[in-house]
């Protein structure tokens, strides 16, 4: 199979960077989007090692102008080819607040970054997605599962990811007619800035497992919530 065109958001560190490494290792073409390309030292180093195969472009997923600009730049990079994989990876976890202390600013930032931004990014990039084969993978979390919710934990993040999950299901419906699959993925607890040092999973390991799950997606898997072993999680 010829190399695929992939876009990863929040690609400068953590899982996003691990996705970029994993995709490059298997020969794909990657657009790595991040807020500050000038400061993305590792991405820029990788771009030097893979000329023409890794493009680093700016994206703040919460800003309409930034999403639109990415859509324009991406069209130039794709040069008529379709986008095969959109990894909506950028996310934020702020405030582990207790009830009574949940801050409006944290809720707003979580909704904008974890739910609204990824949804609108898919809408903006939809014309560039390859009919019949593209996959949109939204990095979710089991913390956003309503059915699996048993305790009051990281409420801003949980609400943002739950909203993202609804976005995933709606996008799966919206894009079904074009044969484009849309899924929510839970990577497990990963050792990144967000996951913290106690997390058991290495980012490269987690990214590799999720890329394998994406590779094995069938048409009936669109609109599902899956973990790194391909198991279905409750919404
Ligand atoms: P990190 O906090 O390590 O990295 C987050 C990334 O998102 C950074 O690249 C950050 O960019 C980017 N980002 C944040 N806000 C924006 C924005 N407004 N626009 C563009 N980019 C933004 O997180 P992880 O790598 O751990 O997580 C990646 C994804 O996986 C997230 O969606 C997260 O919710 C999910 N996840 C992670 C788990 C874990 O255990 N780590 C568990 C379950 C889900 P910048 O450097 O500019 O801040």
Q: Is 112 in the pocket of ligand 1 (CB under 6 A)?
A: no
Q: What is the pTM of this model?
A: 0.98
Q: Is 144 in the pocket of ligand 1 (CB under 6 A)?
A: no
- Domain extent at residue 165: 5-30+55-227
Q: What's the mean pLDDT in 57-82?
A: 98
Q: Is 199 in the pocket of ligand 1 (CB under 6 A)?
A: yes
Q: Please tell me the distance between residue 193's alpha carbon and the centre of ligand 1 in angstroms.
A: 8
Bridge partners for 8 per DSSP: 32, 87
Q: What share of the chain is helix, strand, coil (3-state, %, to 5)?
A: 45, 15, 40
Residue 88 has a pLDDT of: 98
Beta carbons within 10 angstroms of residue 42's beta carbon: 14
Give the torsion sign (CA, 224, 225, 228, 231).
Answer: negative
Q: Are strands 29-34 and 54-58 parallel, antiparallel or unpaired?
A: parallel
Tell whether the model's pLDDT for residue 167 goes beyond 80: yes
Q: Please tell me the distance between residue 172's alpha carbon and the centre of ligand 1 in angstroms.
A: 22
Among 72, 73, 51, 87, residue whose Cα is nearest residue 168:
87
Tell whether the model's pLDDT for residue 40 goes beyond 60: yes
Q: What's the mean pLDDT in 216-235?
A: 96
When pLDDT is cut at 50, 70 and 90, the band that residue 77 belongs to is: very high
Q: Please tell me the distance between residue 177's alpha carbon and the centre of ligand 1 in angstroms.
A: 30
Nearest residue by C-alpha to atom 44 in ligand 1: 141
Whether residue 148 is contained in a domain is answered as yes
Distance separating alpha carbons of residues 181 and 224, to the nearest angstrom: 9
Q: Is 94 in the pocket of ligand 1 (CB under 6 A)?
A: no
To test the pocket of ligand 1, the residue of 7, 9, 10, 163 to mutate (highest count of ligand atoms within 8 Å of its CB) is 10
Nearest residue by C-alpha to atom 27 in ligand 1: 15
Whether residue 35 is contained in a domain is answered as no
Whether residue 234 is contained in a domain is answered as no
Residue 97 has a pLDDT of: 80
Tell whether the model's pLDDT for residue 1 goes beyond 70: no
Residue 17 has a pLDDT of: 98
Whether residue 233 is contained in a domain is answered as no
Q: What is the pLDDT of residues 194-215, one digit of tens each?
A: 999 999 999 999 999 999 999 9
Q: What is the pLDDT of residues 8-27, one digit of tens each?
A: 999 999 999 999 999 999 99
Token match 């299901």: residue?
Answer: 169
Whether residue 188 is contained in a domain is answered as yes
- Strand 135-139: give its sheet, edge to edge: 54-58, 29-34, 5-9, 85-88, 135-139, 181-186, 225-227
Look up residue 33 and give its DSSP letter.
E
Residue 95 has a pLDDT of: 77
Whether residue 45 is contained in a domain is answered as no
Q: Is 228 in the pocket of ligand 1 (CB under 6 A)?
A: no
Q: What is the pLDDT of residues 96-149, one digit of tens each?
A: 789 999 999 999 999 999 999 999 999 999 999 999 999 999 999 999 999 987
Q: Is 194 in the pocket of ligand 1 (CB under 6 A)?
A: yes
Which residues, including other chains, have CB under 8 Å from residue 13's CB and lie 6 or more apart? 42, 192, 193
To test the pocket of ligand 1, the residue of 7, 14, 233 to mutate (highest count of ligand atoms within 8 Å of its CB) is 14
Whether residue 211 is contained in a domain is answered as yes
> Could you give the number of structural domains in the chain?
1
Q: Is 110 in the pocket of ligand 1 (CB under 6 A)?
A: no
Q: Is 10 in the pocket of ligand 1 (CB under 6 A)?
A: yes
Whether residue 208 is contained in a domain is answered as yes
Residue 20 has a pLDDT of: 98
188 Rama sector, left if φ>0, alpha if ψ -120 to 50, beta otherwise: left
CATH at residue 147: 3.40.50.720
Residue 235 has a pLDDT of: 96
């Amino acid at each position: 199979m010829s190399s695929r065109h992939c876009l990863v958001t929040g690609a400068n560190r953590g899982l996003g960077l691990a996705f970029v490494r994993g995709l490059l290792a298997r020969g794909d073409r990657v657009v790595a989007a991040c807020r500050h390309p000038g400061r993305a030292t590792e991405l820029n180093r990788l771009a030097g090692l893979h000329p023409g195969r890794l493009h680093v472009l700016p994206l703040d997923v919460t800003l309409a102008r930034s999403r639109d600009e990415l859509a324009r730049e991406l069209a130039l990079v794709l040069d008529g080819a379709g986008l095969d994989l959109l990894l909506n990876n950028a996310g934020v976890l702020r405030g582990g607040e207790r009830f009574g202390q949940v801050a409006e600013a944290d809720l707003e930032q979580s909704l904008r970054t974890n739910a609204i931004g990824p949804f609108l990014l898919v809408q903006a990039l939809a014309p560039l997605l390859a009919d019949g084969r593209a996959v949109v993978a939204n990095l979710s979390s089991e913390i956003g599962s309503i059915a699996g919710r048993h305790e009051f934990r990281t409420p801003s993040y949980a609400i943002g990811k739950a909203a993202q999950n609804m976005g995933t299901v709606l996008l799966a419906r919206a894009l079904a007619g074009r044969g484009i699959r849309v899924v929510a993925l839970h990577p497990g607890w990963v050792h990144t800035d967000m996951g913290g040092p106690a997390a058991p999973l290495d980012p490269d390991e987690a990214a590799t497992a999720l890329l394998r799950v994406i590779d094995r997606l069938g048409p009936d898997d669109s609109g599902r919530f899956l973990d790194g072993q391909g198991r279905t999680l409750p919404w």
